[in-house]
Structure 1
């Protein structure tokens, strides 16, 4: 099984990139973030023509998440049960015997802000919900744009902002892995300064001034079958790219 996550930063703008990438990489499951369109505006026919079923949780202008799969998608859940939230940030579904949770975590804006408080509340609600999901689904994947660089090595040494690297955010990330989830990327030796997001400004990608904030966390039964996990930077050099690159994990049988 090949599973990927990608914050496309506007599905309509990045659709040609997505379709080319799907044809080249042939993933079995893809979780997308920042669709930035309502469900009715999703280019469903184009994605289905590429060989994928899809379930979406869209929102006009902001947010929005989707799951694409070659296999049937069942038991779809949109947003965190019991957590009132007008923002479209979570979609979960069962594909075969795997529970897939795709999420676009709040940015948080700045440490101490109202948006930062919302981020931490959202993370707490997500963690508590996933506790039950993991108990019900031994094979579970939590993936998406977490907006958290969990360790110092996941941020460029010159990153000076507190957001994405603050202690409360990293503690929240640790609470997720504390549920028994494994960071698929860190399950393997990786090059130094491996990032998945680079600002559009200041030639950040050319300078590799980035953060690793896009993650694939997997439960123990899936971690035991992991064969590789990597960041695909090829999409970031395209014209009008997303500021994020896909992260891809490959699992054996």
Structure 2
């Protein structure tokens, strides 16, 4: 079972890129972020023609998350994180595919930091940490996949010294990420490639792609139930080089059948 996460940076504007990649990868489950699409404008029919059912939570101009599944429609189990009824940003959706509970998330960027946007990011991460712990208590296989907007460590950024005060790399958000790992979640890509410099994002500015000046901010965290099922993990870097590509590349894991 292949499960992927892809920040598409505008699903309708980059639909040809997404469809081409889906045809090539044939991933079983795909978590999408930054749809930048009103809920009613989500391209459900086009994705169905490509062989994927979908659940989604859209938002006009910004944010938005979706879960796609090849040949089936995910069974939706929730949308939005609890703990803040006044939070209207579309950043979390959850569903079941083939017996695995999957949460698709898009963590706030948080810049500039410090400031109100960074404070919101920390509050959102606190809510995520609480929800993640609740998911572990269900004692079922779970994956939390998405754009975390967190650089976990120095090896995950091309020049760490330039990013110390950025909201993606500040100590507060790195601690939040590692608190998830302390709960028992496994950073699948890093677990299989512990010493390798791997990126999932390259900015559009300053020739970041051609210089390989990247960041690893897209992650798939798996629950302990799936620790022994991770067969492979990687990044489809080539997608970032396609015409009209997102500034993110898809990241994926391959799982053996869950126990």
Q: TM class, shorter-chain normalised?
A: over 0.9
Q: Which residue of 2 aligns with 1:98?
A: 100
RMSD in angstroms over aligned alpha carbons?
1.3
Q: Which residue of 1 aligns with 2:137?
A: 135
Q: Which residue of 2 aligns with 1:250?
A: 254
> Following the alignment from structure 1 to structure 2, what is the Cα–Cα distance between the partners of residues 8 and 33?
6
Aligned residue for 1:11, secondary structure, equals coil
Shift of 1:27: 0.4
Instruction: State how 1:101-250 maps to structure 2 within 5 Å.
Output: 101-157=103-159, 160-161=162-163, 162-163=165-166, 164-189=168-193, 192-250=196-254
Q: 5+ unaligned residues in a row in structure 1: which ranges?
A: none
> Following the alignment from structure 1 to structure 2, what is the Cα–Cα distance between the partners of residues 166 and 41?
35
Deviates more, 1:66-75 or 1:43-52: 66-75
> Following the alignment from structure 1 to structure 2, what is the Cα–Cα distance between the partners of residues 110 and 223?
36
Aligned residue for 1:244, secondary structure, equals coil
Cα deviation digits, residues 88-146 of structure 1 (max 9, x gap): 00001112221100000000012211100100000001111121122114200001000
Cα deviation digits, residues 230-249 of structure 1 (max 9, x gap): 01111111111100000010
Shift of 1:187: 1.5
TM-score normalized by the length of structure 1: 0.96
> Following the alignment from structure 1 to structure 2, what is the Cα–Cα distance between the partners of residues 60 and 30?
21
> Following the alignment from structure 1 to structure 2, what is the Cα–Cα distance between the partners of residues 122 and 88?
12
Aligned residue for 1:169, secondary structure, equals helix
Q: 5+ unaligned residues in a row in structure 2: which ranges?
A: none
TM-score normalized by the length of structure 2: 0.94
Q: Once superposed, which parts of structure 1, at least 4 consecutive aligned residues long, lie more than 4 Å away? A: none
> Following the alignment from structure 1 to structure 2, what is the Cα–Cα distance between the partners of residues 122 and 8?
21
Shift of 1:56: 0.5
